[in-house]
Amino acid sequence: MMSTFSQHARVVKSTLRRLFSAPLSGLLSIVVIGIALSLPAGLYALLQNAQGLLAQASSSSEISLFLTMDASSDDIASLKKQLAQNPAIGKTKFISRTDALKDLAQSNGLNDVIAGLESNPLPDAFVISPKATRAQELDNLRSELQKLPHVDLAQLDTAWVYKLEAILEFTRILVLILAILLSLALIAITFNTIRLQIMTQKDEIQVAKLIGATNSFVRRPFLYFGAMQGILGGITAWIIIASGMHLLKKPVTTLSHLYGSDFSLHPLSLGDSLTLMLFSLYLGLMGAWLSVSRHLSEIEPR
């Protein structure tokens, strides 16, 4: 076991030396991989933040229930009880027609006009804070409340929620397409890099095979090279995303405060960061394996 471990350790050291034997080209390859990975991963991070913004904004949505003018105090009490028992409703606030008229007079300066009215034209109302956040769920709840007895109108504006959800869904698909295309591009980059290394070391590989080296032994350094290049590219992508989030955090927080929100950008979570690293390692390993499988079989000792 120690012998196997020492063999792998030697391969890792030699691979690192080969990776940085030409510092400029090696660094450029890692930076290119990092930038390519940071595009879909950065969009994903922004999408996750936007999802939180949608949930925060949707949670502030309210349904206004305007009651019929003939609703009695018993009817209101019965309706209030039904609303309290509904599991989809978070909070309920009752606004009497008298209070509504007073608020209207105070907020719009219509005291003289309202004083001249023969009767109060405003209905009693309930203001409801739903637990649901998705537009379809909010619409379903509004339709359900509209059917309650003595409810004249259940009002809710979900058009903006639908629009925001559509934008987020479009962005998700865009991120997926971008991730697939750039992943294929990164595999191609690693494939070509390993191919050039195999061609450069063709004579060494032939000699190694001549003295009995197996394909797995010859293949190992190239696989390590692809994996290391991939993981370093993933680390570079993480640094780019973290730096971008840090630069954007203050302006976004300032903008959200101007709109009366406490929204702020959050960096990639630990789970997402590990996923990015493992995915970049996988892409590098995949590109190396494909290249080695394609070209190593063509090199045989003469």
- Give the model confidence (pLDDT) of 109-162 as tens digits: 556 556 656 667 778 888 888 877 777 788 888 888 888 888 888 887 666 677
| Residue pair 19/221 in contact by the 8 Å Cβ criterion | no
Indicate the average pLDDT of the chain: 79
Beta carbons of 227 and 288 less than 8 angstroms apart = yes
Q: Are strands 125-130 and 63-67 parallel, antiparallel or unpaired?
A: antiparallel
pLDDT at position 240 is 93
User: Mean pLDDT throughout 263-290?
Assistant: 88
Q: Give the global pTM.
A: 0.67
The pLDDT assigned to 212 comes to 66
- pLDDT for 100 equals 74
Which domains are present in the chain? 2-57+162-298 (no CATH), 62-156 (3.30.70.3040)
Q: CA-CA distance, 52 to 58, in Å (whole number)? A: 10
C-alpha closest to that of 146 among 217, 42, 212, 63 = 63
